[in-house]
Structure 1
Amino acid sequence: MIRLSVNINKIATLRNARGGNTPNVVEAAERLESFGAQGITVHPRPDERHIRYADVRDLTKVVTTEFNIEGNPNQTFIDLVLETKPTQVTLVPDAEDVLTSNAGWDTIKHKDFLKKVVSDFKAHGIRTSIFVDPDISMVKGAAEVGTDRIELYTEAYAQGFSKNKEQAIQPYVKCAEEAKRLGLGINAGHDLSLDNIEFFAEKIPFADEVSIGHALISEALYDGLESVVKSYLKKLS
Protein backbone atom coordinates (compact mmCIF):
# COMPACT_ATOMS: atom_id res chain seq x y z
CA MET A 1 0.00 0.00 0.00
CA ILE A 2 1.20 3.49 -0.86
CA ARG A 3 1.43 5.58 2.29
CA LEU A 4 -0.61 8.77 2.68
CA SER A 5 1.02 11.86 4.15
CA VAL A 6 -1.37 14.77 4.66
CA ASN A 7 -0.09 18.28 4.02
CA ILE A 8 -1.67 20.62 6.60
CA ASN A 9 -0.56 23.95 5.11
CA LYS A 10 -4.16 24.84 4.20
CA ILE A 11 -5.26 24.44 7.81
CA ALA A 12 -2.59 26.96 8.80
CA THR A 13 -3.74 29.28 5.99
CA LEU A 14 -7.27 29.28 7.42
CA ARG A 15 -5.96 29.96 10.92
CA ASN A 16 -3.76 32.82 9.77
CA ALA A 17 -6.63 34.47 7.88
CA ARG A 18 -8.43 35.15 11.16
CA GLY A 19 -5.66 35.27 13.73
CA GLY A 20 -5.75 33.33 16.95
CA ASN A 21 -5.26 29.58 16.94
CA THR A 22 -8.39 28.18 15.28
CA PRO A 23 -8.14 25.83 13.55
CA ASN A 24 -5.26 24.45 15.55
CA VAL A 25 -2.66 22.78 13.34
CA VAL A 26 -1.33 20.56 16.11
CA GLU A 27 -4.81 19.27 16.93
CA ALA A 28 -5.46 18.77 13.21
CA ALA A 29 -2.30 16.69 12.85
CA GLU A 30 -3.20 14.55 15.85
CA ARG A 31 -6.71 13.96 14.52
CA LEU A 32 -5.46 13.13 11.04
CA GLU A 33 -3.14 10.51 12.51
CA SER A 34 -6.00 9.07 14.57
CA PHE A 35 -8.07 8.81 11.37
CA GLY A 36 -5.32 6.72 9.74
CA ALA A 37 -3.02 9.21 8.01
CA GLN A 38 0.44 7.66 7.83
CA GLY A 39 2.35 10.91 7.79
CA ILE A 40 2.10 14.67 8.24
CA THR A 41 3.67 17.09 5.76
CA VAL A 42 4.37 20.80 6.21
CA HIS A 43 5.96 23.31 3.88
CA PRO A 44 7.14 26.40 5.81
CA ARG A 45 7.99 29.39 3.66
CA PRO A 46 10.10 32.41 4.60
CA ASP A 47 7.06 34.71 4.90
CA GLU A 48 5.28 32.14 7.13
CA ARG A 49 2.05 32.78 5.23
CA HIS A 50 0.72 29.40 6.30
CA ILE A 51 2.89 27.05 8.35
CA ARG A 52 5.09 28.97 10.76
CA TYR A 53 8.49 27.88 12.02
CA ALA A 54 6.96 27.66 15.50
CA ASP A 55 4.36 25.22 14.11
CA VAL A 56 7.14 22.93 12.92
CA ARG A 57 8.68 22.89 16.38
CA ASP A 58 5.29 22.21 18.01
CA LEU A 59 4.43 19.44 15.56
CA THR A 60 7.76 17.72 16.15
CA LYS A 61 6.64 17.07 19.73
CA VAL A 62 3.36 15.36 18.82
CA VAL A 63 3.57 13.71 15.39
CA THR A 64 3.90 9.96 15.91
CA THR A 65 3.81 8.89 12.26
CA GLU A 66 6.27 10.11 9.62
CA PHE A 67 6.97 13.83 9.72
CA ASN A 68 7.93 15.36 6.37
CA ILE A 69 9.20 18.93 6.06
CA GLU A 70 9.26 20.42 2.55
CA GLY A 71 11.01 23.55 1.42
CA ASN A 72 13.73 25.39 -0.40
CA PRO A 73 16.99 24.66 1.45
CA ASN A 74 18.09 28.16 2.36
CA GLN A 75 20.07 28.44 5.58
CA THR A 76 17.04 29.18 7.76
CA PHE A 77 15.27 26.09 6.42
CA ILE A 78 18.36 23.93 6.85
CA ASP A 79 18.77 25.08 10.45
CA LEU A 80 15.09 24.33 11.18
CA VAL A 81 15.32 20.82 9.76
CA LEU A 82 18.53 20.02 11.64
CA GLU A 83 16.94 21.32 14.84
CA THR A 84 13.68 19.37 14.54
CA LYS A 85 15.03 16.25 12.81
CA PRO A 86 11.93 15.05 10.91
CA THR A 87 11.64 11.60 9.39
CA GLN A 88 12.05 13.10 5.94
CA VAL A 89 13.04 16.37 4.32
CA THR A 90 11.82 17.12 0.80
CA LEU A 91 13.85 19.68 -1.12
CA VAL A 92 11.68 21.94 -3.29
CA PRO A 93 13.14 24.74 -5.46
CA ASP A 94 10.32 27.24 -4.95
CA ALA A 95 11.09 30.94 -5.03
CA GLU A 96 9.92 33.07 -2.11
CA ASP A 97 7.26 34.85 -4.18
CA VAL A 98 5.52 31.82 -5.73
CA LEU A 99 1.97 30.99 -4.66
CA THR A 100 2.70 27.27 -4.62
CA SER A 101 5.42 24.93 -5.85
CA ASN A 102 5.54 25.06 -9.64
CA ALA A 103 8.63 23.14 -10.81
CA GLY A 104 11.05 20.43 -9.86
CA TRP A 105 14.81 20.71 -9.43
CA ASP A 106 17.25 20.72 -12.29
CA THR A 107 19.31 18.01 -10.63
CA ILE A 108 22.06 18.31 -13.21
CA LYS A 109 22.56 22.07 -13.03
CA HIS A 110 22.35 22.10 -9.22
CA LYS A 111 24.14 18.81 -8.66
CA ASP A 112 26.92 20.11 -6.42
CA PHE A 113 24.58 22.16 -4.24
CA LEU A 114 22.07 19.35 -3.83
CA LYS A 115 24.80 16.83 -3.14
CA LYS A 116 26.09 18.86 -0.22
CA VAL A 117 22.64 19.54 1.26
CA VAL A 118 21.57 15.90 0.93
CA SER A 119 24.82 14.72 2.48
CA ASP A 120 24.40 17.05 5.46
CA PHE A 121 20.83 15.91 6.15
CA LYS A 122 21.65 12.24 5.75
CA ALA A 123 24.59 12.62 8.15
CA HIS A 124 21.99 13.58 10.77
CA GLY A 125 19.84 10.54 10.04
CA ILE A 126 17.18 12.42 8.04
CA ARG A 127 15.80 10.72 4.93
CA THR A 128 16.01 12.99 1.89
CA SER A 129 13.73 13.41 -1.09
CA ILE A 130 14.14 15.71 -4.10
CA PHE A 131 11.14 17.26 -5.90
CA VAL A 132 11.50 16.58 -9.65
CA ASP A 133 9.53 16.94 -12.86
CA PRO A 134 8.64 13.71 -14.70
CA ASP A 135 11.87 13.78 -16.70
CA ILE A 136 14.13 10.73 -16.70
CA SER A 137 17.28 12.86 -16.92
CA MET A 138 16.26 14.63 -13.70
CA VAL A 139 15.64 11.27 -12.02
CA LYS A 140 19.10 10.09 -13.03
CA GLY A 141 20.56 13.36 -11.78
CA ALA A 142 18.84 12.87 -8.43
CA ALA A 143 20.39 9.43 -8.09
CA GLU A 144 23.84 10.92 -8.71
CA VAL A 145 23.21 13.48 -5.97
CA GLY A 146 22.76 10.65 -3.48
CA THR A 147 19.19 11.30 -2.38
CA ASP A 148 17.12 8.52 -0.81
CA ARG A 149 13.96 9.33 -2.75
CA ILE A 150 12.45 11.55 -5.40
CA GLU A 151 9.06 13.21 -5.24
CA LEU A 152 7.39 13.33 -8.64
CA TYR A 153 5.70 16.68 -9.28
CA THR A 154 2.24 15.56 -10.39
CA GLU A 155 0.54 18.76 -11.54
CA ALA A 156 0.87 17.80 -15.23
CA TYR A 157 -0.70 14.41 -14.50
CA ALA A 158 -3.61 16.02 -12.66
CA GLN A 159 -4.20 18.54 -15.44
CA GLY A 160 -4.09 15.90 -18.17
CA PHE A 161 -6.10 13.27 -16.32
CA SER A 162 -9.56 14.27 -17.54
CA LYS A 163 -8.43 14.53 -21.17
CA ASN A 164 -6.38 11.37 -21.52
CA LYS A 165 -5.37 9.66 -18.32
CA GLU A 166 -3.25 7.01 -20.05
CA GLN A 167 -1.23 9.65 -21.82
CA ALA A 168 -0.99 11.79 -18.67
CA ILE A 169 0.42 8.99 -16.53
CA GLN A 170 3.00 7.62 -18.98
CA PRO A 171 5.90 10.00 -18.15
CA TYR A 172 5.37 9.23 -14.47
CA VAL A 173 5.37 5.48 -15.00
CA LYS A 174 8.61 5.71 -16.96
CA CYS A 175 10.27 7.93 -14.36
CA ALA A 176 9.07 5.76 -11.49
CA GLU A 177 10.40 2.63 -13.18
CA GLU A 178 13.76 4.33 -13.74
CA ALA A 179 13.87 5.52 -10.13
CA LYS A 180 13.14 2.00 -8.94
CA ARG A 181 15.89 0.64 -11.18
CA LEU A 182 18.31 3.16 -9.67
CA GLY A 183 17.36 2.17 -6.14
CA LEU A 184 15.47 5.35 -5.30
CA GLY A 185 12.28 5.51 -3.26
CA ILE A 186 9.33 7.18 -4.98
CA ASN A 187 7.05 9.83 -3.54
CA ALA A 188 4.53 11.96 -5.42
CA GLY A 189 2.54 15.09 -4.84
CA HIS A 190 0.76 18.19 -6.13
CA ASP A 191 -2.89 18.27 -7.23
CA LEU A 192 -3.50 14.61 -6.50
CA SER A 193 -7.13 14.15 -5.49
CA LEU A 194 -9.91 11.60 -5.00
CA ASP A 195 -10.59 11.88 -8.74
CA ASN A 196 -7.14 10.85 -9.93
CA ILE A 197 -5.33 9.09 -7.06
CA GLU A 198 -6.70 5.59 -7.65
CA PHE A 199 -5.50 5.46 -11.25
CA PHE A 200 -2.10 6.78 -10.18
CA ALA A 201 -1.83 4.02 -7.57
CA GLU A 202 -2.88 1.38 -10.08
CA LYS A 203 -0.21 2.43 -12.55
CA ILE A 204 2.60 2.98 -10.01
CA PRO A 205 1.76 0.54 -7.19
CA PHE A 206 5.38 0.40 -6.04
CA ALA A 207 5.45 4.10 -5.06
CA ASP A 208 6.24 4.68 -1.40
CA GLU A 209 4.20 7.75 -0.49
CA VAL A 210 1.90 10.48 -1.72
CA SER A 211 1.62 13.88 -0.06
CA ILE A 212 -1.82 15.48 -0.46
CA GLY A 213 -3.01 18.74 1.02
CA HIS A 214 -5.11 21.21 -0.96
CA ALA A 215 -7.48 18.66 -2.52
CA LEU A 216 -7.82 16.58 0.63
CA ILE A 217 -8.67 19.56 2.83
CA SER A 218 -11.13 20.87 0.22
CA GLU A 219 -12.78 17.46 -0.09
CA ALA A 220 -12.99 17.22 3.68
CA LEU A 221 -14.92 20.50 3.75
CA TYR A 222 -17.49 19.17 1.29
CA ASP A 223 -17.82 15.76 2.91
CA GLY A 224 -17.95 17.16 6.45
CA LEU A 225 -20.38 20.06 6.02
CA GLU A 226 -23.51 17.93 6.34
CA SER A 227 -22.41 16.46 9.65
CA VAL A 228 -21.52 19.84 11.15
CA VAL A 229 -24.72 21.57 9.97
CA LYS A 230 -26.80 18.77 11.50
CA SER A 231 -24.87 19.07 14.76
CA TYR A 232 -25.63 22.80 14.94
CA LEU A 233 -29.32 22.23 14.15
CA LYS A 234 -29.53 19.60 16.86
CA LYS A 235 -28.03 21.94 19.46
CA LEU A 236 -30.29 24.79 18.37
CA SER A 237 -33.42 22.67 18.75
Structure 2
Amino acid sequence: MLLVFALACAVIAVAARAALPATPGRAEAGYLATLRGLPGLYLRFPVLRLAAGRGVLWFFAFCAVWAGIAVALSQPPFSYLPERIGLYGAAGLLGIAATRIAGVWTDRIGARRVILIGLALAAAAALTLGLCLSNTPLTLVCLGLFDAGLFAAQVANQSTVLALDPAAPARFNSTYMVVYFVGGSLGTAAGAAAVDWFGWTATAAVCAAAIVAAAGITATRRAGSH
Protein backbone atom coordinates (compact mmCIF):
# COMPACT_ATOMS: atom_id res chain seq x y z
CA MET A 1 0.00 0.00 0.00
CA LEU A 2 2.86 2.39 0.72
CA LEU A 3 4.23 1.77 -2.77
CA VAL A 4 0.78 2.37 -4.26
CA PHE A 5 0.48 5.68 -2.43
CA ALA A 6 4.00 6.67 -3.43
CA LEU A 7 3.22 5.97 -7.08
CA ALA A 8 -0.05 7.92 -6.82
CA CYS A 9 1.80 10.91 -5.34
CA ALA A 10 4.35 10.79 -8.17
CA VAL A 11 1.59 10.72 -10.81
CA ILE A 12 -0.22 13.63 -9.16
CA ALA A 13 3.03 15.62 -8.96
CA VAL A 14 3.67 15.19 -12.69
CA ALA A 15 0.05 16.07 -13.51
CA ALA A 16 0.17 19.15 -11.28
CA ARG A 17 3.40 20.31 -12.90
CA ALA A 18 1.74 20.11 -16.30
CA ALA A 19 -1.66 21.51 -15.31
CA LEU A 20 -0.89 24.35 -12.89
CA PRO A 21 -0.19 27.76 -14.42
CA ALA A 22 3.39 29.00 -14.35
CA THR A 23 3.44 32.26 -12.40
CA PRO A 24 6.76 34.03 -12.02
CA GLY A 25 7.57 35.04 -8.47
CA ARG A 26 9.81 37.65 -6.92
CA ALA A 27 11.99 36.26 -4.18
CA GLU A 28 13.37 38.86 -1.78
CA ALA A 29 15.69 36.40 -0.02
CA GLY A 30 17.28 33.03 -0.59
CA TYR A 31 15.61 29.78 0.33
CA LEU A 32 17.69 29.14 3.47
CA ALA A 33 17.28 32.73 4.63
CA THR A 34 13.54 32.37 4.21
CA LEU A 35 13.52 29.18 6.30
CA ARG A 36 15.51 30.86 9.07
CA GLY A 37 12.98 33.67 9.16
CA LEU A 38 9.93 31.45 9.62
CA PRO A 39 10.09 31.11 13.45
CA GLY A 40 10.22 34.88 13.79
CA LEU A 41 6.81 35.15 12.13
CA TYR A 42 5.25 33.62 15.25
CA LEU A 43 6.69 36.42 17.35
CA ARG A 44 5.48 39.15 15.02
CA PHE A 45 1.96 37.96 14.18
CA PRO A 46 -0.50 37.08 16.98
CA VAL A 47 -3.05 35.81 14.44
CA LEU A 48 -0.53 33.24 13.24
CA ARG A 49 0.05 32.06 16.81
CA LEU A 50 -3.69 31.78 17.37
CA ALA A 51 -4.26 29.86 14.14
CA ALA A 52 -1.40 27.47 14.82
CA GLY A 53 -2.43 26.91 18.45
CA ARG A 54 -5.98 25.91 17.72
CA GLY A 55 -4.93 24.01 14.59
CA VAL A 56 -2.52 21.87 16.61
CA LEU A 57 -5.31 20.88 18.98
CA TRP A 58 -7.81 19.78 16.41
CA PHE A 59 -5.30 18.05 14.13
CA PHE A 60 -4.08 16.16 17.19
CA ALA A 61 -7.67 15.07 17.74
CA PHE A 62 -8.20 14.25 14.07
CA CYS A 63 -5.20 11.94 13.84
CA ALA A 64 -5.83 10.41 17.26
CA VAL A 65 -9.37 9.45 16.31
CA TRP A 66 -8.38 7.83 13.04
CA ALA A 67 -5.38 6.02 14.52
CA GLY A 68 -7.31 5.01 17.61
CA ILE A 69 -10.38 3.71 15.83
CA ALA A 70 -8.24 1.44 13.67
CA VAL A 71 -6.75 -0.11 16.81
CA ALA A 72 -10.13 -0.38 18.52
CA LEU A 73 -11.72 -2.14 15.55
CA SER A 74 -8.83 -4.59 15.30
CA GLN A 75 -9.32 -5.74 18.90
CA PRO A 76 -12.10 -7.83 20.49
CA PRO A 77 -15.06 -7.75 20.39
CA PHE A 78 -14.71 -6.59 16.77
CA SER A 79 -11.44 -8.14 15.56
CA TYR A 80 -11.98 -6.78 12.05
CA LEU A 81 -9.52 -7.52 9.28
CA PRO A 82 -7.45 -4.59 7.95
CA GLU A 83 -9.44 -4.59 4.70
CA ARG A 84 -12.69 -3.99 6.56
CA ILE A 85 -11.18 -1.35 8.82
CA GLY A 86 -9.82 0.46 5.77
CA LEU A 87 -13.33 0.79 4.35
CA TYR A 88 -14.23 3.04 7.28
CA GLY A 89 -11.94 5.63 5.72
CA ALA A 90 -14.50 6.16 2.96
CA ALA A 91 -16.61 8.04 5.48
CA GLY A 92 -13.93 10.73 5.51
CA LEU A 93 -14.79 11.70 1.94
CA LEU A 94 -17.46 13.95 3.38
CA GLY A 95 -14.65 16.15 4.66
CA ILE A 96 -13.50 16.83 1.12
CA ALA A 97 -16.98 17.97 0.14
CA ALA A 98 -17.07 20.24 3.18
CA THR A 99 -14.02 22.23 2.08
CA ARG A 100 -15.80 23.97 -0.79
CA ILE A 101 -18.82 24.78 1.36
CA ALA A 102 -16.56 26.09 4.12
CA GLY A 103 -14.75 28.36 1.70
CA VAL A 104 -18.00 29.93 0.54
CA TRP A 105 -19.30 30.45 4.07
CA THR A 106 -16.00 31.83 5.29
CA ASP A 107 -16.42 34.63 2.78
CA ARG A 108 -20.03 35.18 3.87
CA ILE A 109 -19.96 34.99 7.66
CA GLY A 110 -16.27 35.12 8.55
CA ALA A 111 -13.63 32.58 9.50
CA ARG A 112 -14.32 32.69 13.25
CA ARG A 113 -17.93 31.57 12.92
CA VAL A 114 -17.10 28.81 10.45
CA ILE A 115 -14.37 27.53 12.76
CA LEU A 116 -16.70 27.46 15.76
CA ILE A 117 -19.47 25.70 13.82
CA GLY A 118 -17.03 23.14 12.43
CA LEU A 119 -15.48 22.47 15.83
CA ALA A 120 -18.87 22.11 17.51
CA LEU A 121 -19.88 19.53 14.90
CA ALA A 122 -16.58 17.64 15.24
CA ALA A 123 -16.67 17.61 19.05
CA ALA A 124 -20.21 16.23 19.11
CA ALA A 125 -19.25 13.58 16.56
CA ALA A 126 -16.15 12.57 18.56
CA LEU A 127 -18.17 12.15 21.74
CA THR A 128 -20.74 10.05 19.93
CA LEU A 129 -18.02 7.92 18.35
CA GLY A 130 -16.82 7.01 21.81
CA LEU A 131 -20.17 5.39 22.55
CA CYS A 132 -21.40 3.98 19.25
CA LEU A 133 -18.55 1.90 17.83
CA SER A 134 -20.71 -1.24 17.83
CA ASN A 135 -23.24 0.54 15.58
CA THR A 136 -21.53 0.58 12.19
CA PRO A 137 -23.95 2.91 10.31
CA LEU A 138 -23.90 5.48 13.12
CA THR A 139 -20.11 5.21 13.37
CA LEU A 140 -19.75 5.93 9.66
CA VAL A 141 -22.07 8.93 9.89
CA CYS A 142 -20.15 10.30 12.87
CA LEU A 143 -16.81 9.81 11.13
CA GLY A 144 -18.11 11.73 8.13
CA LEU A 145 -19.40 14.59 10.29
CA PHE A 146 -16.17 14.58 12.31
CA ASP A 147 -14.10 14.99 9.17
CA ALA A 148 -16.47 17.56 7.69
CA GLY A 149 -16.33 19.72 10.80
CA LEU A 150 -12.55 19.70 11.05
CA PHE A 151 -12.00 20.18 7.33
CA ALA A 152 -14.31 23.21 7.45
CA ALA A 153 -12.41 24.60 10.43
CA GLN A 154 -9.12 24.04 8.66
CA VAL A 155 -10.23 25.90 5.52
CA ALA A 156 -11.41 28.88 7.56
CA ASN A 157 -8.36 28.83 9.82
CA GLN A 158 -5.94 28.69 6.91
CA SER A 159 -7.70 31.62 5.26
CA THR A 160 -6.74 33.80 8.24
CA VAL A 161 -3.11 32.74 7.83
CA LEU A 162 -2.97 33.40 4.10
CA ALA A 163 -4.58 36.82 4.57
CA LEU A 164 -1.72 38.04 6.78
CA ASP A 165 0.40 38.92 3.75
CA PRO A 166 -1.22 38.26 0.36
CA ALA A 167 2.11 39.04 -1.30
CA ALA A 168 3.89 36.19 0.51
CA PRO A 169 1.30 33.57 1.47
CA ALA A 170 3.69 30.62 1.18
CA ARG A 171 5.88 31.79 4.06
CA PHE A 172 2.96 32.02 6.45
CA ASN A 173 1.36 28.81 5.24
CA SER A 174 4.65 26.91 5.65
CA THR A 175 5.11 28.23 9.17
CA TYR A 176 1.56 27.26 10.08
CA MET A 177 1.74 23.79 8.53
CA VAL A 178 4.97 22.83 10.32
CA VAL A 179 3.34 23.32 13.71
CA TYR A 180 0.05 21.86 12.48
CA PHE A 181 1.68 18.59 11.46
CA VAL A 182 3.54 18.35 14.75
CA GLY A 183 0.11 18.15 16.37
CA GLY A 184 -0.97 15.51 13.87
CA SER A 185 2.12 13.38 14.47
CA LEU A 186 1.57 13.48 18.22
CA GLY A 187 -2.08 12.58 17.73
CA THR A 188 -1.26 9.57 15.57
CA ALA A 189 1.14 8.22 18.17
CA ALA A 190 -1.06 9.03 21.14
CA GLY A 191 -4.32 7.78 19.62
CA ALA A 192 -3.06 4.28 18.94
CA ALA A 193 -1.39 3.97 22.34
CA ALA A 194 -4.31 5.46 24.27
CA VAL A 195 -6.73 2.81 23.06
CA ASP A 196 -4.48 0.12 24.52
CA TRP A 197 -3.99 2.01 27.76
CA PHE A 198 -7.38 3.59 28.44
CA GLY A 199 -9.85 2.18 25.92
CA TRP A 200 -11.62 3.67 22.94
CA THR A 201 -14.26 5.63 24.87
CA ALA A 202 -11.68 7.52 26.92
CA THR A 203 -9.58 8.18 23.81
CA ALA A 204 -12.54 9.67 21.95
CA ALA A 205 -13.40 11.79 24.99
CA VAL A 206 -9.87 13.22 25.12
CA CYS A 207 -10.07 14.04 21.42
CA ALA A 208 -13.38 15.81 21.96
CA ALA A 209 -11.80 17.76 24.82
CA ALA A 210 -8.96 18.89 22.57
CA ILE A 211 -11.47 20.13 20.01
CA VAL A 212 -13.46 21.94 22.69
CA ALA A 213 -10.23 23.59 23.86
CA ALA A 214 -9.59 24.79 20.31
CA ALA A 215 -13.13 26.18 20.19
CA GLY A 216 -12.59 27.89 23.54
CA ILE A 217 -9.43 29.59 22.26
CA THR A 218 -11.38 30.82 19.25
CA ALA A 219 -14.46 31.90 21.19
CA THR A 220 -12.50 33.98 23.69
CA ARG A 221 -11.26 36.25 20.95
CA ARG A 222 -13.20 39.48 20.77
CA ALA A 223 -15.91 39.76 18.15
CA GLY A 224 -14.63 40.68 14.74
CA SER A 225 -11.15 39.24 15.29
CA HIS A 226 -9.75 36.14 13.62
In terms of fraction of residues, the more helix-rich structure is: 2
User: What TM-score range do you get, normalising by the shorter chain?
Assistant: under 0.3
TM-score by length of 2: 0.23
Q: Report 1 or 2 for greater relative contact order, CA contacts < 8 Å, sequence distance ≥ 6.
A: 2
In terms of fraction of residues, the more strand-rich structure is: 1
TM-score by length of 1: 0.23
